[in-house]
Amino acid sequence: AMARFPFVKPLETFDFGYQPSIDKKQVANLATCHFIEHGDNVIILGPPGVGKTHLAVSLGLKAIEAGYRVLFTSAANLIAQLTKAYAEGKLDDKLKVFTTPRLLIIDEIGYLPIDRQGANLFFQLISRRYERGPMILTSNQSFGAWGEVFGDRVIATAILDRLLHHAVTLNIRGNSYRLKEKLKAGLVR
Ligand code: ADP
Ligand code: MG
């Protein structure tokens, strides 16, 4: 209940057969939660519907089973909360909310544009968690496009520099699972 997942789907419900670009062994290794002990980040990239959020939730559930405190947030919600707290002079307290959980999952980086202040606040959080708090991040945008996502190439580079220092990246290339039933029914090709 604490984790605030958008849905609860265990890893066992993920159909790896549908998404051959995912290395099943790599995901099974992540499911052992060793990456949390090592302080590694996991970055899941891919177009909409390929299972990024599903995998992030599934790994979050494994972490909870292993006894870790986990917090799930969308990038938009995270930045909105930090922006509001900053305006109210409570940034430090809010940063603590996002640095205290052992595993922080930040979903959907890249769907909504981030303004300069948002990018700065996001960078502060990444800096605080750097080399201490592992994260799972998902994005529909490749790293090369993060300059546009954060509206500032310098901040995006600084964020990526820290995130990628100790990180595993899953690049999902494939069809949206949401289209699966439609493809099956021959409604789309
Ligand atoms: P993304 O976050 O990449 O846009 P989601 O993880 O939200 O995609 O997946 C869209 C929907 O399809 C969700 O209901 C998810 O559980 C389901 N889904 C996606 N990929 C798979 C898969 N390989 N096996 C089972 N369900 C999947
Ligand atoms: Mg998603």
Sorting pLDDT into bands at 50, 70 and 90, what band is 45? very high
For 67-87, what is each residue's pLDDT tens digit? 999 999 999 999 999 999 999
Handedness of CA 78, 79, 83, 84 (dihedral sign): negative
C-alpha 73/C-alpha 104 separation (Å) is 8
- CA 155 / ligand 1 centre spacing (Å): 30
- CATH code, domain carrying 142: 3.40.50.300
The mean pLDDT value for 94-120 works out to 97
* N residues, the chain: 189
| pLDDT in the model for residue 101 | 97
In a domain, 116, yes or no: yes
Among protein residues, the one with the nearest Cα to ligand 1's atom 20 is 51
For 124-174, what is each residue's pLDDT tens digit? 999 999 978 999 999 999 999 999 999 999 999 999 999 999 999 999 999
- Total structural domains in the chain? 1
Residue 182 and residue 188 in contact, taking contact as beta carbons nearer than 8 Å: yes
Domain residue limits at 73: 11-184
Q: Is the CB of 14 under 6 A from ligand 1?
A: yes
Take residue 38 and report the two structure tokens written for it.
């090592």
Nearest ligand 1 atom to the CA of 138 is 2
